[in-house]
């Protein structure tokens, strides 16, 4: 794994994430004509999304946007990852709405909705942007999740998440493994213990779940880097 990049300035961290993502998306478009971007929710990536949306090296009309997870809320809810992505990245960048692939996690039949998203999901992401939770979760793969060892399904229902709302939808480890580039953001003192555990040289590969992406690219602010 490469050493985590540690930033004193939140703006510099957001710029670095945006530049990394834009470079890979533009390269994918040059090679194949299109690109696939997977996004997370939360506060950590918001500045990076806004900066990425302004990058004109990317032809945003040829980007498909996917989600690593979603809460069981309507698309206009304040807690919706779809709404966050639409307002901070997709709409400002000019991504066609049909290219923003929402997870219908509010569906009464969550398993069927997860299977439908799995069927639609591209074979691999060019870029996936992930945050890390204070408990070390990524996407909605929480400590102890039965999906941490999943090898077949790419998208799964979550019925009992340890933080509200308990019903969610999440990608599973194979999606993260197959992504060409994964950018992991760890921001804030509350993420310090989880970041240290995720990046430790040895330990259970699923404890915390963020160890699943230990070998990927980490962008860490000084507060979250306290233990590394």
- CA-to-CA distance for 123 and 108, rounded, in angstroms? 26
Indicate the SS3 state at residue 149.
helix
Residue in the structure block whose two tokens are 């040829």:
62
**Residues 170 and 156 sit within 8 Å (Cβ to Cβ):** yes
Domain locations along the chain: 5-221
| pLDDT value of position 74 | 97
State whether CATH 1.20.970.10 applies to domain 5-221: no
> In 130-141, which positions are buried (b, 16+ CB within 10 angstroms) versus exposed (e)?
bbbbebbbbbbb
| pLDDT value of position 204 | 82
Quote the distance between the C-alpha of residue 108 and its chain's center: 24
| pLDDT value of position 41 | 96
Residue spans of beta strands (DSSP E) within the chain: 5-7, 35-39, 63-67, 69-71, 127-131, 155-158, 168-171, 182-186, 217-221
> Does the reported pTM lie above 0.95?
yes
pLDDT along the chain (228 residues), means of 10: 91 98 98 98 96 97 98 97 98 98 98 98 98 97 97 97 96 98 97 97 87 97 95
């Amino acid at each position: 794994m490469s050493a985590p990049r540690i930033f004193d300035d939140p703006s510099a961290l957001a710029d670095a994430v945006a530049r990394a993502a834009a470079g890979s998306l533009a390269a994918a478009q040059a090679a194949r004509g299109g690109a696939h971007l997977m996004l997370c929710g939360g506060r950590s990536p918001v500045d990076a999304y806004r900066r990425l949306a302004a990058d004109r090296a990317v032809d945003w009309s040829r980007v498909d946007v996917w989600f690593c997870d979603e809460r069981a809320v309507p698309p206009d809810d304040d807690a919706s990852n779809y709404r966050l992505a639409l307002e901070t990245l997709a709409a400002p960048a000019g991504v066609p709405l049909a290219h923003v692939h929402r997870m219908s996690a509010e569906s009464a039949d969550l398993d069927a909705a997860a299977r439908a998203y799995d069927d639609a999901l591209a074979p691999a992401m060019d870029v996936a942007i992930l945050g890390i939770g204070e408990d070390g979760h990524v996407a909605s793969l929480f400590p102890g999740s039965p999906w941490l060892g999943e090898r077949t399904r790419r998208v799964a229902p979550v019925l009992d998440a340890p933080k509200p709302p308990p019903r969610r939808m999440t990608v599973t480890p194979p999606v993260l493994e197959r992504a060409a580039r994964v950018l992991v953001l760890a921001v804030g003192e509350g993420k310090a213990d989880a970041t240290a555990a995720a990046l430790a040289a040895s330990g259970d590969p699923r404890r915390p779940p963020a160890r699943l992406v230990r070998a990927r690219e980490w962008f860490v602010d000084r507060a979250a880097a306290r233990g590394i």
